Structure 1
Amino acid sequence: MPGDYPPCAGQAVSGGHNDSVTTGSAARGGSLLWRAGTRAGKLLASSALVGPLLGVSAHAGPAAASKAGLSVSTVEVMQLAMFVGVMGAALVSAIFLIRERARTSAQNVELRARLADVNAALQRSEALLNLRDQRVVVWASDNKKPELVGTLPVESGAPEDRAAFLAFGRWLMPRSAAALENAVAGLRDKAKPFDLVIESQAGAPLEVHGRKSAAHVLVRFVSLSETQRSEARLRIENQRLAADYDTMLGLLNALNMPAWLRTANGRLKWVNRAYAKAVEAENAQAAVRDAKEFLGGQAREAIAAQHKLHPVFEQALSTVIEGDRRMFAVTDFAGADGSAGIACDTSAIETIRSEYERTVRSHADTLDQLNTAVAIFDTDEKLRFFNQAFQKLWGLDSGFLHSAPDNALLLDRLRSEGKIAEQPEWRRWKESLLGAYRA
């Protein structure tokens, strides 16, 4: 304030050399202080409005103060500069806050509109998922328990209980349950989508679609209309037949017996590994491609002629395998669209049978030379062998003996012709004699 810093105590304000000198010194000191305060005010001011005001104050400083006869201190200038700077900053902040508030209000309006759209979409989705003819199982990415949405018709056989529904093996056919569990595992572990047609134990077909998003795994069960059910049943039947077909081909391929399938015109369309090995082909595909035949031309003609009269052909045929002629029991069946056949190598069996027959004939020749009567009966009590001594002993005709009579009939014949002694209790005696077969 004026008077706080007097030039010098006891001296006049004006007049005299000392006064002018002192006054000039004070004026120069005040000018320096004024300029320092002006610069500080410029540094403190933060708005465009403070700069011009401080500039005007700086230019008008010492001259205006000296003309008006006023004394302005540096503290007052700094206070004024700080006030003006604070007011400018407050004004700029207020303008900024007003603009931010307007922008925030606009964003809030937009977010409310988007939230309303999302809620509407969520309600529509829930309405669609809660339909009676479908049920959705949702697994979250954090491996929590799955959620179930919607229901399936009662006639589908699907249980309402959550735990019972997720136990697929309890209400689905075994093949369908296994296929569904494998598909769900592949979807959750490897993100492999799937579309299946499954069958419940109640006989109702269901469509199942599996998809995986970024955060969820969804499996949707859909009940079908009558037309769709018929189509689904056909698809299930086709899957079953395809599986059975693959199983049968796998079995035939594992057998050590040549097997083949032919088209309606007689061309090979599939053979197993044993067939390819028998015809010395590189593999089964090469045998089909090169049309290498296992049986000779006459044997194939005989099979074709038999199929015209009867669908099944069964006969022992010979063919050459690896330079050796072997016997095969061939069975061939002709269907509507082709035929299938299999051949069982019976060469070893034929060899053993021939050896057995030679042995039997050798024994028969040996026994036939004996003077002791010999008769051989089988387990059915039928006469299978007799030598000449047996025929001479009883004087029976060869026709009766070669008819393979049983032992009881032979005893009755000998009794009726009086060739054995009469027994008091014939039936008991005969039963005791025939009891040897049951012993």
Structure 2
Amino acid sequence: MEFSPIALTLIGLVLAAWTVAAAIMMIRATQRSRRHDALRRSLARVNGMLEEAPAIPMLVRSDGRIEAHERLAGWLGLDKVPEFLTELASGEDGFGITANQLSQLSDAVRRTQKTAAPFRLSFSLPGSGRSFAFRGTLADPRVAPGGAALVWIFDFTESEGELARLRGEAAQAQGDFTALVGLIEAAPIPMWFRGRDARLRLVNRAYVEAVGADDAEQVVTRQIELLEPEKGRAAGDIAREVAEHGGASERTVPATIHGERRLLRVSDLPIGEEGIAGYAIDIEEIEQQARELRAFRQAQRAMLDQLSVGVAQFDAAQKLVFANQPFLRLFDLPFGIVGDGVQFDRFLSDAREKRRTPEVRDFPAWRREHLEWFGASEAREEAWPLPGGMHLRVVAQPMPDGGLVVFAEDRTEQLALSATRDTLLRTRTAMLDSLFEALAVFAPDGSLQVWNRSFAGTWGLEPELLDNHPSADELLAAIAPNLAQPGQAKAIGDIVRAATLDRREKGGRVELADGRTLEFAGVPLPDGNGLLTVLDITDSQMAETALRERNQALEEADAVKARFLANMSYEFRTPLTSIGGFAELIQSGAAGPVSDQMKEYVEAILESVARLTEQVENVLDLSQSEAGLLPISKQRLELLSFVTEIVREREKAIKDAGLTVDLRGNPGGAIEADKRQLARAIGHLVDNSIAATGKGGKILIDIARTSEGARIVVSDNGPGMTKQELGRLSEGLRVTPDGKVERRQGLGIPLARQLVEAHGGTLTLESRKGVGTTAMIRLP
């Protein structure tokens, strides 16, 4: 079949059109394929971004259907993404949101769908512990027409924890700040804050009270400074300098607070770029205590220097910081050693060199042991026997600061005294056992402490009973059966009680059943104990009875003697008076003329009568004096005139003997004495001197007043006497063993002695052969 050219042309045109159309279609297809690839790549990128996005979109349509990424099922712990919103609630497995949370979410979604109002919700899933935030808005019609809601779900589990932590920290910081502000306000010390310009911006209540202001606002407004300027610089200037240097500053300055000068420790502390904080601590009391402590330490060390116990103190570095004088003396240390800071081990070595430590075999080991004193928990005590016989008691007391105080006491004398005490105790025991008296010592509680061997035998007790130290009640119960009257045991207990508790001395007497008589007494001892002393007075009772009978006989004999002396005084004096009277009548011529020879006889008779009368007086006075019956009638006598009168009565005898008398004394001395009896005593001494001194001799009579009374001395320069002759002169009359009376040199001296002693005085005689004799009378 042949085609016409037109047809061929038409066919060519159609083919060309189809070719062009195919080309165009291929080009468009290529372009669409490229757009599809780009869209696919974009969708892949969006899916990748959604996979990595921190939020998942969820589209909720008006009928409740939802569209969401598969990740939502994993977040909520579901097997797959549910089709409806109501299926987001947790089932029996516990995954998903709770019913309450679902109700809140549904209400919010419906509200957004109806009003286009966005919402925000936060839920924490109880099953997984995760937290999600729901942000909902009305979906763009291009995304989902028909009033759908677009909900973005955010997993902010980590953010919620961080937010919770930050909220807690913020709340804690707020509370801490509030507490800090309250603490600063309530602080008892002044505190303040300055800005960068060093002006006050904040002060607490203590600052306000310290400066005497009304409130903190007044202080800040007026810039009232607590601190005084220092060297022309105000407190603000000093704070500014501290801020510029960038370091904290602390100084001690005085200030006036409440009208008193106080010492403050002021601290300024820069606080970043904000300003400078400051506070002031009142250290006046601390400084006062420090001064008192220093004074106390000085006083304590001065006191330690006065102790007899050596005291040394080592610090925590084991250096010697103090030693009192006794310590230096005990260890033979120089005075300046304290300032050298000697180590403790060096001190021990020096002490060893000076033989002030015990002799030990291994001294280095001994020294190491004593270095451990510094770390001990309690005091250590040792006895150091030193070479040479000295004994030291050393006590090491660790101190809380790591130091050590060493006390050293010389116990040498105490040990010697202890040995002496032991010897004395043994001597006391032996002495008590050797006494005839029975002794026992009772403690205040009534227990028997000490007794001698005679105590048990005296009371008729078994010695084994006393070895148990029985009480007083037990002892009295054992003594009672041995008494003649057992009830008297109570009296013994009362005496023991009076000696131990009442501290009174009391005695008594009991008779035993065997006929013995015991006398006992309770004596309080200085140590609080009581001594019971018991003496068997059976023999002395018998002797006392005999002595009583003999005393009665002697009293009767004295009465007879007194009557005899009175009778003899009458019998002697009456005849002598009669003889003398008749002789004087004959001498006067009353009986007729008297021849010369008769006158001589009469004068001899009168002289003999006078001499005999004197001798009778002497005998009677001596007898009365020895019997204690001599009458003494004292009166006040002026001593010098009294002795002068006695000498004048013997003036004729002195002249006849060719003697001179030297009477010395000062007037005004008076004594109380019997004039007649004292005159006879002094007269006898003067008569003996006249008789014993040869012609041309001298008699000295010296009268003096002393602090003890009066003194009268009669001395002569006669031939003197030997001791034997002086003894016989002093004895006068002596009764021989066979009852005979032997005459010795007259009665003058013995009578004078008796008369002086009757006045309460003494008479002493001294004589030397060829020198003379001296008699001295001392009167009170």
When normalised by structure 2's length, the TM-score is 0.27
- More strand as a share of residues: 2
Bigger relative CO (Cα 8 Å, ≥ 6 apart): 1
- More helix as a share of residues: 1
